[in-house]
């Protein structure tokens, strides 16, 4: 029979940010350092696991369409490990409440009387465009933005894309690369202007790739650049006004120079 832990069962849902290890919060690092178990997803930068040096580390994510665990299995694992080991940190890419199913896992754990907490993270929907110099709500250009999932629980494109395509808002689509042709068709159907579009793969990481075009050209550009998932899609006039100073300094100077000379 498995021994019951003397530690208080606890679940902390933690957002790991969009990929760059420096874009995790101090509170998230504290949670990792206090963890007895870390259950992490595929989009999490594994370098962050160094902060959980005393914890049991378990990969529960999805890679190339293959699930290590189903969501029901993850829920059960959270409860069983919290009861036997103590503090479980559920580490998720981006923010755990932006298409991260964090609320579902908290609701399940609380049914078993497990203490819960949430540490927000920088969502890739916000952090990746910003790091690429794209302002989602640039003054006099975009007054709002949509963040939409490209793949619903039914493996379909969200119907909200149809509504968003008719608005003047910036549209950010997550998990949408496999639906790119469908997205492009919707925009061509619903409007006559050839909107700018950017697709950013592995945003904020050293392996980041970005391609910028328009609704009529992006499919060809993506194929030529071999852009694939994980990537986010940004559609709107703000893409046309991308700031180039970030990439310029990253290309020409190292981080130490930038921090010392620009007080960043």
Catalytic residue numbers read: 41, 62, 175
Which parts of 111-169 fold into alpha helices (H)?
A: 124-131, 160-165
Q: How many Å apart are CA 66 and CA 60, to the nearest integer?
A: 11
Nearest one of 202, 248, 201 to 211, comparing CA atoms: 201
No. of helices (H) and no. of strands (E), the chain: 9, 12
The CA distance from 88 to 220, in Å, is: 45
**CB 146, CB 171: distance < 8 Å:** yes
| Gap between the Cα atoms of 18 and 48, Å rounded | 12
Beta-bridge mates of residue 198: 212, 234
Q: Give the β-pairing of 209-214 and 87-92.
A: unpaired
């Amino acid at each position: 029979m498995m021994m019951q832990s003397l530690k208080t069962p606890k679940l902390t849902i933690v957002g790991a940010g969009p990929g760059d290890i420096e874009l995790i919060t101090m509170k998230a690092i504290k949670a990792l350092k206090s963890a007895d178990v870390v259950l992490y997803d595929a989009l999490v930068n594994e370098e962050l696991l160094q902060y959980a040096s005393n914890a049991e580390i378990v990969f529960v994510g999805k890679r190339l369409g293959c699930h290590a665990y189903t969501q029901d299995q993850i829920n059960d694992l959270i409860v069983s490990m919290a009861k036997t080991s103590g503090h479980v940190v559920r580490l998720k890419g981006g923010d755990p409440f932006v298409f991260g199913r964090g609320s579902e896992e908290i609701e399940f754990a609380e049914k078993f009387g497990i203490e819960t907490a949430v540490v927000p993270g920088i969502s890739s929907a916000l952090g990746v465009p910003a790091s690429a110099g794209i302002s989602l709500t640039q003054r006099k250009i975009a007054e709002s933005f949509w963040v939409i999932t490209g793949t619903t629980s039914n493996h379909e494109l969200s119907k909200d894309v149809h509504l968003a395509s008719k608005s003047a808002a910036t549209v950010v689509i997550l998990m949408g690369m496999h639906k790119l042709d469908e997205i492009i068709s919707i925009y061509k159907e619903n409007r006559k202007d050839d909107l700018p579009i950017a697709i950013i793969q592995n945003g904020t990481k050293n392996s980041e790739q970005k391609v910028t075009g328009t609704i009529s050209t992006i499919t060809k550009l993506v194929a030529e650049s071999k852009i694939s998932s994980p990537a986010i899609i940004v559609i709107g006039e703000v893409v046309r006004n991308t700031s180039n100073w970030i990439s310029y300094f990253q290309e020409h100077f190292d981080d130490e120079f930038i921090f010392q000379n620009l007080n960043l």
